[in-house]
Amino acid sequence: MITKEQVADAYKQIQDEICAGLELADGKGKFEEELWTREGGGGGRTRIIQNGNVLEKGGVNFSAVEGKLPDNIKKAFGVNEDDFFATGVSIVIHPNNPWVPIIHMNIRYFEMISGEKELRWFGGGIDLTPHYVIDEDAQFFHKSLKTTCDRFKNDFYPRFKKWADDYFFIKHRNETRGIGGIFYDRLNPESTGLSWDEIFEFSKGVGRTFLPMYTELIARNREKSFTPQQKEWQFQRRSRYVEFNLVYDAGTKFGLETNGRIESILMSLPPQANWVYDFKPQPGTEEEKTLALLKKGIDWI
The set of catalytic residues is 104
Instruction: From 61, 51, 47, select the one nearest 26 (Cα to Cα).
Output: 51
As a whole number of angstroms, the distance between CA 70 and CA 3 comes to 24
Identify whether the C-beta of residue 138 lies closer than 8 Å to the C-beta of residue 300. yes
As a whole number of angstroms, the distance between CA 280 and CA 299 comes to 26
CA angle 30–35–38, rounded 5-degree value: 145
On the 0-12 / 13-18 / 19+ scale of CB atoms within 10 A, 281 is middle
Identify whether the C-beta of residue 134 lies closer than 8 Å to the C-beta of residue 290. no
H-only helix segments in 109-195: 135-150, 156-167, 189-192
CA angle 88–132–271, rounded 5-degree value: 55
As a whole number of angstroms, the distance between CA 298 and CA 204 comes to 27
Q: Cα torsion for 11, 156, 135, 164, to the nearest 10°? A: -70
CA-to-CA separations, 198 to 24, 111, 118, 181, in angstroms, rounded: 31, 17, 19, 21
On the 0-12 / 13-18 / 19+ scale of CB atoms within 10 A, 292 is exposed
Q: Cα torsion for 190, 195, 199, 201, to the nearest 10°? A: -170
